[in-house]
Structure 1
Amino acid sequence: MVESWVNSAERIGADLHVDLSGSGSRRAALIGALREAVRSGRLAPGTRLPPYRSLAADLGIARNTVADAYAELVAEGWLTARQGSGTRVAERVAPPPRVRVPKRAPTVPAPPAHNLVQGQPDAGSFPRTAWLAAARRALTAAPNEAFGPGDPRGRIELRRALADYLARSRGVRTDPERIVVCSGFAHALRLLFGTGSGGVLRGPLAVEAYGLGFHRSLLSTAKVRPVPLSLDEHGARVEELPDATSPVRTVLLTPAHQFPTGGPLHPARRTAVVDWARTRAGLILEDDYDGEFRYDREPVGALQGLDPERVLYVGSVSKSLSPAVRLGWMVLPEHLVDAVVTAKGEREAWASVLDQLTLAEFIASGSYDRHVRRMRQHYRRRRDQLVAALAEHAPHITVTGIAAGLHAVLQLPPGTEASAVKAAAWHGVGLEGLAAYRHPEATATAPDGLVVGYATPAEHAYTAAIEALCRALPPAADPDRGVRTVGR
């Protein structure tokens, strides 16, 4: 058996694979292989073939064998041969018949005409030029060892940049040695709780009564039993945390901006939950999912700043830059660093080193701060446009949770949420009801509402999306009631 790749870049512009396997003479095998390459379209009409001598040398066969094979294919009309032009695939050879692939029903539903689903930033606002410039600078300055096996903690350049940025912008108290880079909050949960009986932490886990179902499913896979905490206008009711007779030692919170109902955790409750963790030798998982975007109030610093040994802080760039970047971080209490690094593994398998170096440069150069400030103004304008449209077209709707973040909650009359979600879909608006985020074991009465993400639509489509939303809202029972905004 002889099977070879013919490297003929300078002769025909591409590699040519010729398979001479099978029984029979080399001449017959070469004729059959070339004929099949032309018939299948792998050798297109007009393609120049290697000279006799070159092809014979590459395949380890006699030059006359190649010459005879070319001559027969020319006689059959598969090839043409002209003085000074070499041997080429004939132009008149019919292309291979098109293979008709039967149409299949799409497995993914078509996106709505107006996407107001929360959790997605404005994809068109990604800072491509600044990111590319940061990537060039980062790659130019990167040491050679950066292109070898990665450190499971993440690149030191990024961890240093994050330590400085988080201290300055979020009040986080840490150093680079206590930061572990991950690909986002979901990855952090997997590392912390593992699957089954594995993981750094153990359940049960106290959680807020409203949150992402995806996170609940991750915890369920890890066999972590959740203990829901009620919510009110001041955030999670941390006074419901179990006492010393309970095995609960960890609580997951979104203290800067409760997801999805909105609003920061009240200062008294921030102090209370830290005291609870101290007295129980417990831990607080702080999900700072959109802490950069506040509009009508002073920034709320990270809960981690109150006690770095009792709060594990998690953040990412999924809202501030893009979920496509796949970079996040854990700021760990000192006693958990080694365990988390061990859980992650000896080699960095989750976050691209090139992206880490680029983000480090993006932060250190000030480009990240400039981007966040620009997006803060952009999203505030969108929020204001949403509130103004509701005041004009649906003044009976109460808008909450708008002091920060990328979404608002529209409070609805009791019993109207399901019909409002259906009406929105009929008008081509993609969004979710508040019930979709409620923990199934929560005991408090569930209000009706819509979770409206105002960051996702393209700029030119945003006005139409809001108009379609207003048409889908239930009518007012009392036309004299004005729009109210809560959570400023």
Structure 2
Amino acid sequence: MNNGSSAERIATELRAELAGAPVGSRVPSTRALTERFGASPVTVQQAMRLLVRQGLVESRPGAGTFVRPSAPAPRADFGWQTAALGPVPSGGAEVGSTLQNPTDDVIALHSGYPADDLLPVRAVRAALARASRSRSAIDRPPAAGLPELRTWFAHEVAESAPAGGAAGGAPAASDVVVMPGGQSALSSVFRALARPGDTVLMESPGYWGAIAAALQAGLVVVPVPRTGDGAVDPVVLAEAFERTRARLFYAMPHFANPTGSAWSPREASAILDVVRQNAAFLVEDDWAHDFALDVPVRPLVAGDPDGHVVYVRSLTKSLSPAVRIAAVIARGPAGSRIRTDRVIDGLYVSGVLQTAALEVVTAPGWPAHGRRMREQLRRRRDALVALVEAHLPGTLTAVPAGGLNLWLRLPDGSDAERFTAEAAVRGVLVSPGAEWFPAEPTGPFVRLNYSGPDPSRFGEAVRTLADCL
């Protein structure tokens, strides 16, 4: 056999061995391979040159020959999709900064979820373990949700309604449909109650997830500015309805995200009157129901017997980010359409998650946990407020009576995006204000969340933010 054929045979055998060798490991020397294969040094060197040309090994003069990393796969070409997909849908909804997963060394004031020490972690784990061993792990739940869970959501609204509410105002379990989280609930509501191209009115600033869900549904988002007290002006809202012919108004009447503001009973009544006069729907997002710190939550849906209010409440923030359970309460044809959308979109919500959530919120210890959580949140809020007022005077727009956030307006002329980026470089994450506006922001704002991990570092964080200004 000639040297060429011997070199190919040696290269083939070595190639198979090198396939499982760690990157950077040394290849046997020419002398060792000569003895092993009974070939001449020239033949072995020819074999090694074949492996070098194939990118399997590399020669380092004076050091030897070593296994190279595998050649990267050819880069995929997705350019064809640009023409196939066309423009980004309706303004280009984007995922908010609150979903960043920070490293342990940063101070996370951007988060949208409470830290573990504020959540019923052990109760959730135990409930999930029991649910996974029950029939819930096998059976298909009803499309609208477990009857017991739907009853609980309806009862929660009835319990928190003000005394002497409208006759027939309290919803029934049959008005409730269980959803896989609040974000999915909003998407279903927007799809079911509007068509692409329709207008939805929204408080501004408002929740980025609702803005994104509406845009993804093909709706035109028209902002309605909040007043200094936090609610929208009923006169301005009425003009927006008349100008746009909208049939949807999305709002957070209780401890709005991001501002923390809440409607007074008088404001709520006046706004609901405008909605009724325009034969429209108010999508009431009660995201902070469990985070009422100084004043109770009074859902508007409890005093709305005619179905103008479509109510959304999620348990995810108060139970666990892994327990994606929420509910929509809607009556009449609107409720029917939302239930139909839920079935078409996902058939039903995991029975295991529903069963676990129901066990936690109906356990005897749930009320006590809620009181402890709110007390911890109150202390965190007050601590962060004091630090902001001391080191960033004049920036806090209001002290929220509930929720999880502080809303800061930076000095005029500040660049909120640059400020946020500089803070991140220094190890403090905050949420830039621009993503909370349906249109152009009205000033340089940022949102700080006081429910994240390690409140002992609040002082360090606020001093860093002050340095960034």
Asked if Structure 1 and Structure 2 have the same fold, meaning a TM-score greater than 0.5 normalized by the shorter chain, the answer is: yes
Any idea what SS the aligned residue of 2:388 has? Answer: helix
Contact 1:251–1:284 (8 Å) recurs in 2: yes
Change (3 A) 1:245 1:210: closer
Match of 1:450 among 428, 446, 450: 446
Change (3 A) 1:190 1:294: closer
Change (3 A) 1:168 1:133: farther
Q: C-alpha separation between the residues in 2 aligned to 1:367 and 1:98?
A: 60
Once the two structures are superposed, residues 370-389 of structure 1 have per-residue CA deviations (whole angstroms, 9 ceiling, x without a partner) of 32222111111111221232
Contact 1:406–1:453 (8 Å) recurs in 2: yes
1:163 maps to amino acid? A
Any idea what SS the aligned residue of 1:345 has? Answer: helix
Q: C-alpha separation between the residues in 2 aligned to 1:426 and 1:475?
A: 10
Q: C-alpha separation between the residues in 1 aligned to 2:369 and 2:70?
A: 46
Once the two structures are superposed, residues 143-197 of structure 1 have per-residue CA deviations (whole angstroms, 9 ceiling, x without a partner) of x588322321011121122222332246682111110000122212222233xxx
Any idea what SS the aligned residue of 2:349 has? Answer: coil
Any idea what SS the aligned residue of 1:235 has? Answer: coil
Q: C-alpha separation between the residues in 1 aligned to 2:362 and 2:101?
A: 41
Change (3 A) 1:248 1:386: same
Deviation of residue 403 (structure 1)?
1.8
Change (3 A) 1:400 1:148: same
2:147 maps to amino acid? I
Change (3 A) 1:170 1:378: farther
Q: C-alpha separation between the residues in 2 aligned to 1:102 and 1:126?
A: 47
2:181 is aligned to 184
Deviation of residue 243 (structure 1)?
4.6
1:452 maps to amino acid? L
Deviation of residue 101 (structure 1)?
6.5
* Bigger helix share: 2
Q: C-alpha separation between the residues in 1 aligned to 2:101 and 2:334?
A: 42
Contact 1:204–1:225 (8 Å) recurs in 2: yes
Contact 2:160–2:299 (8 Å) recurs in 1: no
Q: C-alpha separation between the residues in 2 aligned to 1:378 and 1:102?
A: 53
| Number of residue pairs the alignment of both structures matches | 368
Once the two structures are superposed, residues 58-114 of structure 1 have per-residue CA deviations (whole angstroms, 9 ceiling, x without a partner) of xxxxxxxxxxxxxxxxxxxxxxxxxxxxxxxxxxxxxxx99956899xxx9864711
Q: 5+ unaligned residues in a row in structure 1: which ranges?
A: 1-35, 42-96, 477-488
1:436 is aligned to 435
Contact 1:120–1:456 (8 Å) recurs in 2: yes
Alignment of 1:154-165 (within 5 A): 154-165=145-156
Once the two structures are superposed, residues 324-348 of structure 1 have per-residue CA deviations (whole angstroms, 9 ceiling, x without a partner) of 2111100112332222222222796
RMSD of equivalent CA atoms: 3.2
2:122 is aligned to 129
Q: 5+ unaligned residues in a row in structure 2: which ranges?
A: 1-15, 22-65, 74-99, 163-168
Once the two structures are superposed, residues 6-26 of structure 1 have per-residue CA deviations (whole angstroms, 9 ceiling, x without a partner) of xxxxxxxxxxxxxxxxxxxxx
Q: C-alpha separation between the residues in 1 aligned to 2:140 and 2:345?
A: 6
Once the two structures are superposed, residues 388-421 of structure 1 have per-residue CA deviations (whole angstroms, 9 ceiling, x without a partner) of 3234444454352422111111232111242432
Contact 1:261–1:401 (8 Å) recurs in 2: no
Change (3 A) 1:109 1:275: closer
Change (3 A) 1:103 1:415: farther
Contact 1:154–1:348 (8 Å) recurs in 2: no
Match of 1:193 among 169, 190, 194: 190
Contact 2:407–2:447 (8 Å) recurs in 1: yes
Match of 1:473 among 454, 461, 466: 466
Match of 2:112 among 119, 123, 126: 119
From the CA coordinates, give the structure whose radius of gyration is larger. Answer: 1
Q: C-alpha separation between the residues in 2 aligned to 1:347 and 1:147?
A: 21
Change (3 A) 1:200 1:369: same
Change (3 A) 1:100 1:369: farther
Contact 2:384–2:458 (8 Å) recurs in 1: no
Match of 1:411 among 409, 423, 434: 409
In the alignment, structure 1 residue 216 sits paired with structure 2 residue 211: yes
TM-score under structure 1 length normalisation: 0.67
